[in-house]
């Protein structure tokens, strides 16, 4: 029986990027007689602000970012709801799933407080004792589930069926590709910032991934990112 590996790490790594702030504005200007004008930073920023304010989102669809995400399956269950992205995920039918499972970090808020409202979910940080119990229960169920998985594989059962015993805490890897407009829409919904004009309450774990995605996005499209933040983090 293999040992299981427990981790809190959720990673988003850049694979490939195409495009720039200037490219977005060049696409916007294509429909005008200014397509070939010189663009300086204030000229780009002003036009980016206009695109966001007027919800003129088309020019932001030029460009692309591919990231490789390593996360528990529950993160992908939510990420895959973003239908305008493209995905390639490692298979649970063609190879054995590795025994890597998610354990929450100590400071992850997780205990429902008195007066909890599921429409605006906010959790308290666990006490030391509560945290230990949570981790023990998670670990025990991961060990049992993975032992059943291996037992089924040992009996020659189809991997696509054997995996049914595993929960959404097991890790997977997925490459995800989107354009700047898709990404800003994703970040609006899957990050949590006080300055957001349309606040969302994303799951802690997808937020951890979204924060890393935002940092990659801001490196490649710094002016677009800044204009979006100034616009209250609302995507067009
Ligand atoms: C905090 C939070 C809680 C959530 N809770 C739940 C839940 O309890 N249950 C649940 O099922 N889902 C839930 N979701 C998922 C949510 O309903 C969306 O499916 C998900 O956020 C993807 O958003 P999207 O459809 O805008 O993105 P995308 O699929 O990337 O679409 C982007 C945009 O394209 C347009 N579009 C795409 N497809 C269509 C279509 N078929 N018809 C019309 N327009 C389309 C829309 O304008 C859409 O905003 C939750 C999401 C969040 C952020």
Q: Which of 221, 219, 216 has its CA nearest to residue 180?
A: 221
User: Using CA positions, which residue lies closest to atom 9 of ligand 1?
Assistant: 78
Which whole number is the average pLDDT over 217-222?
Answer: 98
Q: Dump pLDDT digits (tens) for 173-196.
A: 999 999 999 999 999 999 999 999
Query: What's the pLDDT band for 225 if we cut at 50, 70, 90?
Result: very high
Confidence at residue 66, expressed as pLDDT on a 0 to 100 scale = 98
Which whole number is the average pLDDT over 161-173?
Answer: 97
Whether 190 is a known active-site residue: answer yes
- Pocket mutation for ligand 1, best pick of 83, 192, 204 (most atoms within 8 Å of C-beta): 83
Q: Dump pLDDT digits (tens) for 78-123.
A: 999 999 999 999 999 999 999 999 999 999 999 999 988 887 788 9
As a whole-number percent, the residues of the chain with pLDDT over 90 amount to 91
* Residue 74 Cβ < 6 Å to ligand 1: no
Beta bridge partners of 47: none
Kindly calculate the radius of gyration of the chain based on its CA atoms and give it in whole angstroms: 21
Work out which ligand 1 atom sits closest to the CA atom of 190. Answer: 53
Residue 5: both structure tokens together: 């590996």
Distance in Å from the first CA to the final CA of the chain: 51
Beta bridge partners of 144: none
User: Using CA positions, which residue lies closest to atom 4 of ligand 1?
Assistant: 202
Q: Dump pLDDT digits (tens) for 33-67.
A: 777 788 999 999 999 999 999 999 999 999 999 99
What's the pTM? 0.96
SS3 string, the chain, reads CCCCEEECCCEEEEEEEECCHHHHHHHHHCCCCCCCCCCCHHHHHHHHHHHHHCCCCHHHHCCEEEEEEEEEHHHHHHHCCCCCCEEEECCCCCCCCCCEEECCCCCCCCECCCCCCCCCCCCECCCHHHHHHHHHHHHHHHHHHHHHHHHHHHCCCCHHHHHHHCCCCEEEEEEEEECHHHHHHHHHHHCCCCCCCCCCCCCHHHHHHHHHHHHHHHHHCHHHHHHHHHCCCCCC
Q: Which of 45, 86, 49, 77 has its CA nearest to residue 175?
A: 86
**Annotated active-site residue in 26, 190, 207, 226:** 190
Model confidence at 10: pLDDT above 90? yes
What's the distance, CA 62 to chain centroid?
A: 21
* Residue 198 Cβ < 6 Å to ligand 1: no
Model confidence at 1: pLDDT above 80? no
What is the overall mean pLDDT for the chain?
A: 96
Beta strands 5-7; 100-102: pairing state: parallel
* Residue 202 Cβ < 6 Å to ligand 1: yes
Angle value at C-alpha 47, between 43 and 51, nearest 5 degrees? 170
Query: What's the pLDDT band for 136 if we cut at 50, 70, 90?
Result: very high
């Amino acid at each position: 029986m293999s040992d299981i590996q427990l981790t809190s790490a959720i990673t988003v790594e850049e694979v490939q990027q195409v495009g720039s702030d200037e490219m977005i504005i060049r696409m916007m200007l294509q429909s005008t007689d200014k397509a070939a004008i010189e663009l300086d930073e204030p000229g780009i920023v002003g036009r980016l602000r206009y695109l966001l304010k007027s919800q003129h989102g088309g020019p932001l669809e030029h460009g692309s970012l591919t990231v490789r995400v390593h996360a528990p399956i529950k993160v992908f269950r939510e990420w895959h709801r973003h239908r305008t992205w493209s995905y390639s995920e490692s298979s649970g039918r063609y190879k054995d799933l590795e025994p890597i499972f998610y354990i929450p970090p100590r400071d992850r808020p997780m205990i429902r407080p008195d007066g909890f409202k599921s429409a605006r979910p906010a959790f308290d940080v666990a006490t030391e004792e509560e945290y230990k119990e949570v981790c023990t229960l998670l670990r025990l169920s991961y060990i049992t589930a993975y032992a059943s998985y291996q037992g089924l594989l040992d009996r020659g059962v189809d991997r696509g069926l054997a995996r049914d015993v595993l929960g959404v805490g097991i890790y997977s890897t997925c490459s995800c590709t989107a354009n700047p407009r898709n990404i800003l829409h994703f970040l609006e919904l899957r990050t949590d910032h006080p300055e957001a004009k349309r606040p969302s309450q994303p799951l802690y774990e997808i937020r951890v991934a979204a924060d890393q995605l935002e940092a990659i996005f801001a490196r490649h499209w710094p002016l677009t990112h800044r204009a979006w933040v100034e616009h209250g983090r609302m995507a067009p």
